[in-house]
Structure 1
Amino acid sequence: MFLKGSKLYSILFLKCPRCHKGEFFEANPYKLSNFNKVKDHCPKCKLKYSIEPSFYTGSMYVSYAVGIAVAVATYVLSLIFNLQLSLVSLFISIVVVLILTMPWIAAVSKSIWANMFFTYDKKIAKNIN
């Protein structure tokens, strides 16, 4: 895949930031029993995902930015599709979209946060099956 080796690949597919092969989360973000639980280590390259206790607390700032981006995208899509929504309807639609995408926003935010601190290592990725 042409994105492999880029931070965007790791973020969008929720993969290990170092090898891009191991899963980053215990389960799908929408599986609420394991909601947003990051694995301790990469199952492929053994990278420890947490640098320090409460490492992912900083991802809340990223989550805010991603949430704003989703809200703006919802508004822009309502303009593109020429939906004549009242202000209240537009507000309700943005809130509904944010609630529905909340697990995805939280997961992507943690992935973005991890990718700020870990980099892709082509040598390690090449040696993993």
Structure 2
Amino acid sequence: MKKRNVLVNIFRLKCPRCHKGNLFTVPGLFVMSKALAMPQKCPHCHQDFTIEPGFYSAALWISYPIVVALLAFLLVLGYYLHESLKVPFKVLLPVLMILCFLLQVPIMRIARAILINITIAYQDDEMKQ
């Protein structure tokens, strides 16, 4: 089995060790119920996802620059929409704020996936034996 691309694995929210088990109990990026609920172990390779108490609080440091970059992109996009399409800021700003709010859960899930993929290395089935 070939090693999958780590970036693809992060966005698929899969186990960093086997790339098969789900990181979250409810799969998918856009989830509103039990958004950050994770199983104790990977259902496929039994990798422990609770590495240490407070481990996932470091995901806040990963999500912060993602949110800042997203907000900067949306503000630049809003500026160009305001200039070219003459969309008033009274309409544009609430839309951008709602969009940032709706993207918060997927960003937090991706940040957790990035953190655990940085910490735990991929192991091929052949390497385990």
Q: TM-score range by the shorter chain?
A: 0.7 to 0.9
Taking the TM superposition and a 5 Å limit, the aligned residue runs for 1:1-129 are 5-28=4-27, 29-78=29-78, 79=80, 82-123=84-125
Segment of structure 1 superposing worse, 14-23 or 60-69: 60-69
TM-score normalised by length of structure 1: 0.79
Deviations 1:46-96, CA, capped at 9 Å, x for gaps: 111121011101101111112122223323444389443444544323211
Over the matched positions of the two proteins, sequence identity in percent amounts to: 28
Give me the whole-angstrom Cα distance separating, in 1, the residues matched to 2:103 and 2:87: 21
Give me the whole-angstrom Cα distance separating, in 1, the residues matched to 2:48 and 2:40: 6
Return 5+ residue gaps in structure 1 as ranges. Answer: none
Give me the whole-angstrom Cα distance separating, in 2, the residues matched to 1:51 and 1:60: 16
Larger Rg: 2
Give me the whole-angstrom Cα distance separating, in 1, the residues matched to 2:76 and 2:36: 28
Question: How much does 1:6 deviate?
Answer: 2.1
TM-score normalised by length of structure 2: 0.79
Give me the whole-angstrom Cα distance separating, in 1, the residues matched to 2:95 and 2:25: 30
User: Per the alignment, do residues 40 and 124 of structure 1 end up closer, same or farther by CA in structure 2, a change over 3 Å counting?
Assistant: farther
The count of residues paired between Structure 1 and Structure 2 equals 125
